[in-house]
Structure 1
Amino acid sequence: MSGSSPFKMRFVHLDLKGAPPKVSYLSEIFPLFHALGANGLLIEYEDTFPYEGPLKLLRAPHAYSPSEVTEVLRLAAAHELEVVPLVQTFGHMEFVLKHEALAHLREVALFPNTLNPHEAESLALVGAMVDQVLELHPGARWLHIGCDEVYYLGEGEASRQWLQQEQNTTATLCLSHMRAVASHVQARHPATTPLVWDDMLRDIPEDQLSASGVPQLVEPVLWDYGADLDVQGKALLMEKYRQCGFPRLWAASAFKGATGPSQALPPIEHHLRNNLQWLQVAAQGRKDTLQGIILTGWQRYDHFSVLCELLPVGIPSLAVCLQSLLHGGFTEDVRARVQHLLGISSLEIAGVLSEGTGSFPGSDILALVIQVSLHLRSSVDEMLQMDSLLGRWSGLAQELAAALRRVFPEGTVEEWLQENVHPSLGQLQALLQDLEAASPPPPPASPGPAQARAPEDMGAHPVPSSSVCPTLASC
């Protein structure tokens, strides 16, 4: 099923830090992933992993049980989907550092997103997390250790003192922690290779990267979710990494969760263009340099952000992107195959899918979300503006009456209006009066000025651009 794809590995990212699917749904959707051309999964558990012992406080109430994780792995294997777990070990540590018992390990006390790399306890913590995750993933060839968007690195007190020493830089600090975590993986799990998001490596000079020892320990994942990514720039970045000594690289595109922190419906055309441009990047690079591509599907931009597109809603976008990667482009044959696999009669790329279409697992959710997204807000807004609505329709009725009078006798005009207009206007007028009668009187004026206070900032939530974080979690 390799087709003409330059990516021998095609991994679907499951971001479980928001809306984690039930195992029963995964059992329905994994066969479709395989049929669409996926041969692997990148599973980002965050707080849904069943941590034990001192780490049990990291578990969310809805976390999977150990037996459920085992069942997910069994289902994945049954459908030829290789599983790569992802454990955050540096940035995006909100789900860990939000806990009071671990808050002392923050790089900056106010923000729970970045781990303090100077504390021995920090490495022990992430080492224990890695060990527990890999214990439930025996035989994993890769482990993703995150390391993206390490905000505020170097701004903690310990870092400031360390940076005052000659030749110490934030790049050195980043590489040191990355090397320590990767070395732990290598020592305790020698058959498993760490992957890292590449954004913290991009601007580090080649000689510093080469001398750090990191290229011998990890495989970078180059991520960019934009519809207009710089193909030539990515090809040059790949060559830079190769010159630094990284023997293997990965790409990361997106099929959902990268175009807005509260997006409800993924723009399929945007994600298709993004994945097609990654095909161009692969064509410019050296053969076999890119091991594969990860199609990210962010569910939250970070631990404290709202939900974006749900997994079932993103399936048509995933299908279009996977099939295009598999066959080397989006052709009419690819369109027809996607329509067949999803049970969609007419696949819309540039706009919203037609309502009520599709027979894939979760297609009913997609149909209902489309209705809510397109009609609920406008309907409610219209109701809340009933006085304007009544005025608008009353004015239109008067215009219509005047127009009718130019052609018909008064009796005909009144009869038509009584039959087709006045009943609806009467209902609207009565409802508006009922709402006005039910509304409570306004509260008395406050004796003094009252100023609302915003809740304390719990971390940085940047609005993503074309290069949102791979944890968008892109950020």
Structure 2
Amino acid sequence: MKNISTSPIHSLKYICILILLTFALCPSVYSSPKAMNKQDFTVKGFHIDLRCEVMTMPALKNFAKELAGFGINTIIMEWEGSFPYDKHATISNKYAYTREEVKSFITYCTSLGIDVIPLQNCFSHSEYILRHDRYTHLREDRKEVSQVCPLKINECKPIFTEIFKDMAELHPSRYFHIGCDETYLLGSCKACAEKVQKEGKSKLFVDYVKAMCEIVKSMGKQPVLWADIILKYPEALNELPKDIIYVDWNYGWDRNHFGNLDNLFNAGVTFWGAPSIRSHPDNIYLTQWEKHFNNQKTFIPYARQVGYQGMVMTSWSTSGTYGFSYDTGWEVIEMFPVRYVYPLSGFRILVAAYGESLKNNTPIDPQTFVVKYGQERFGFTPQESEILWQALKAPQETVIRGKDPKGKSVQEMKTDAIAVQRQLSALQPKKNNTEFEHLRLMNDIRVQYLSFKEIENRYQSDRFERGSARTFLKELEPLIREAKMLDKRFLTLNKGFLHDEEIAEINRTRNEKLYTVYETLNRIVN
């Protein structure tokens, strides 16, 4: 063995080497005060959004059972109008459950080891409340009915005290989620604008949220809210209760997308993270599968490394923005979601990936996971499962005036979708056929949609004249026939998961523009 010099210079040298090795071997994930905390998540949650696509109670219970099998111990329920409100029954919609059904669901979840946390919006995303005449006096804007005016604390407190208590009565969870994300209308009304000039937008936000948190705490609950706005206005943090749990929703962007996270880390707040399996720009015609897999691959390990105490997978049934039918005086007759997303029934593969991500400290590898899933779930060979992965990773983008955001033409997009269609058609699952049929249907809907958008792009150009209507009509006729077949498939696959009336509504919305153009052309020709 060689002798090691003990001179001061050599000692310093070896100390430096040890320090460098330490930094080299320690993982560096977004420098933060909690970067080396690798503890498991206490809350392993899933968010169920019932703003649109209200699941039947049997489907809801079956889904909860499946979540429990994936290791989920928490569900955040965004009931919205599907909740059977008592004193504020005006808010409940035509798909609302009974109070007995909600109780039975929560009891069932408890038996599965799942805590059900209610999410009750009280600030932004409150269209389902503010649309009603009973609550118009709370609006920030007469026409844009999504947000409560934060200066109307005195009017809001008694109303939301009753609503919160009603919700809490059926939810024994220690947590209560109050939303408060995307408060885009802050400072819109005249009175709010004056306060902004004097005290800033953050004061508008914090004063109102503090009042809502006081209601939650008076019920013995711990408030939970989305983190995007407090990240934008970190100077307001000290005015809010110290025990708030902030949910950092990140669907694949930079960690500081909403604001510098270190501002909150340094204040010692409690974070839960929230990736997504359905989010913008997903709609009924497209799903960005690879983006959602990669979201799990990157964000969940990051959140674990920096010490987030919980993880909640979000799954949005709609964009959260709406169009409205009004009468005189901006009376809301009806509201319509700007976009539907394919129902949760078609996304088991992403839910399973989430369960796998929660079990392991290492990042999930999407390709490896899908290939294994294809073999175990559908009975595919490794080669067939690889084809499934290639189909899921194929790019899917929105269509804007005949092109995607990167400039690819709708014709090229259609060619890509047809290639995926052929891949999926060639695969013959040996088990769980219904689940696989959802994947086929989703892509077939996209092919039909892109076929229509290709025709529509010419219809909306200077190439369209009255004399060419018959040619366009003939091109649309096979798409009309296909739309009816897709409607039947959608009904067959989702019957019992959603209400029949909802299924019909989604089909009608999906085809509305196609039928409108067809009927217009038919009028010209005949």
Q: Distance in 2 between matches of 1:42 and 1:361?
A: 27
Change in 2 beyond 3 A, CA 1:40/1:340: farther
- Give the partner amino acid of 1:276: K
2:212 to 171, 181, 197: 181
Change in 2 beyond 3 A, CA 1:362/1:47: farther
Deviations 1:21-79 (A, max 9, x none): 111112322232222232221110111110112x1110111111111111221232232
CA contact (8 A) 1:342 1:360 kept: no
Equivalence for 2:132: 99
Deviation larger for 378-387 or 336-345: 378-387
Change in 2 beyond 3 A, CA 1:335/1:365: closer
**Greater share of residues in helix:** 2
How far did 1:157 drift?
2.4
TM-score by length of 1: 0.71
Q: Distance in 2 between matches of 1:290 and 1:134?
A: 25
Q: Distance in 2 between matches of 1:18 and 1:237?
A: 33
CA contact (8 A) 1:116 1:122 kept: no
Change in 2 beyond 3 A, CA 1:128/1:362: farther
How far did 1:378 drift?
3.4
How far did 1:82 drift?
1.8
Change in 2 beyond 3 A, CA 1:363/1:135: farther
For the pair 1:302 / 2:325, whether they are aligned, the reply is no
2:242 to 216, 227, 230: 216
Change in 2 beyond 3 A, CA 1:43/1:264: farther
Equivalence for 2:276: 254
For the pair 1:266 / 2:287, whether they are aligned, the reply is yes
- Give the partner amino acid of 2:205: C
- Give the partner amino acid of 2:141: V
Q: Distance in 1 between matches of 2:202 and 2:100?
A: 41
Equivalence for 2:89: 56
How far did 1:322 drift?
2.9
- Give the partner amino acid of 2:264: Y
How far did 1:222 drift?
0.7
- Give the partner amino acid of 1:17: R
CA contact (8 A) 1:234 1:281 kept: no
CA contact (8 A) 1:90 1:146 kept: yes
Equivalence for 1:43: 77
How far did 1:388 drift?
7.5
1:26 to 60, 64, 72: 60
Deviations 1:129-184 (A, max 9, x none): 1111110112x02111000011211121221343454xx22101101111111111
Secondary structure of the residue aligned to 2:358 is helix
Q: Distance in 2 between matches of 1:77 and 1:384?
A: 60
For the pair 1:193 / 2:216, whether they are aligned, the reply is no
Change in 2 beyond 3 A, CA 1:34/1:118: same
Q: Distance in 2 between matches of 1:317 and 1:36?
A: 11
Change in 2 beyond 3 A, CA 1:388/1:271: closer
Q: Distance in 2 between matches of 1:121 and 1:221?
A: 27
Q: Distance in 1 between matches of 2:317 and 2:296?
A: 19
How far did 1:380 drift?
10
- Give the partner amino acid of 2:61: S
Equivalence for 1:350: 393
Q: Pairwise mapping of residues 141-290 of structure 1 onto structure 2 (< 5 A)?
A: 141-165=174-198, 168-187=199-218, 189-190=219-220, 192-206=221-235, 208-210=236-238, 212=239, 214-226=240-252, 229-231=253-255, 233=256, 237-246=260-269, 248-260=270-282, 262-282=283-303, 284-285=305-306, 289-290=307-308
Structure 1 residues without counterparts, runs of 5 or longer: 390-434, 444-475
Deviations 1:235-288 (A, max 9, x none): 994432132242x1111100113333x344432211111112113422542xxx
Q: Distance in 1 between matches of 2:433 and 2:162?
A: 39
TM-score by length of 2: 0.64
For the pair 1:322 / 2:355, whether they are aligned, the reply is yes
Q: Distance in 2 between matches of 1:186 and 1:251?
A: 22
Change in 2 beyond 3 A, CA 1:147/1:376: closer
How far did 1:115 drift?
0.4
Q: Select the structure with the greater relative contact order (CA < 8 A; seq sep ≥ 6).
A: 1
Equivalence for 1:429: none
Structure 2 residues without counterparts, runs of 5 or longer: 1-37, 323-336, 395-419, 456-469, 477-517
Secondary structure of the residue aligned to 2:393 is coil
For the pair 1:371 / 2:439, whether they are aligned, the reply is no
CA contact (8 A) 1:265 1:314 kept: no
For the pair 1:79 / 2:152, whether they are aligned, the reply is no
Deviation larger for 44-53 or 320-329: 320-329
Equivalence for 1:127: 161
Q: Distance in 2 between matches of 1:222 and 1:301?
A: 18
Change in 2 beyond 3 A, CA 1:176/1:440: closer
Q: Distance in 1 between matches of 2:258 and 2:473?
A: 56
Percent same amino acid among aligned pairs?
23
How far did 1:303 drift?
5.5
Deviation larger for 343-352 or 113-122: 343-352
- Give the partner amino acid of 2:201: T
Equivalence for 2:28: none
Change in 2 beyond 3 A, CA 1:376/1:89: closer
Deviations 1:95-128 (A, max 9, x none): 1111122111111222111101222112222222
How far did 1:9 drift?
2.2
Change in 2 beyond 3 A, CA 1:378/1:251: same
Secondary structure of the residue aligned to 1:110 is coil
Q: Distance in 1 between matches of 2:433 and 2:138?
A: 45
Equivalence for 1:404: none
What is the CA RMSD across the aligned residues, in angstroms?
3.2
| Bigger Rg, structure 1 or 2 | 1
CA contact (8 A) 1:107 1:152 kept: yes
CA contact (8 A) 2:231 2:258 kept: no
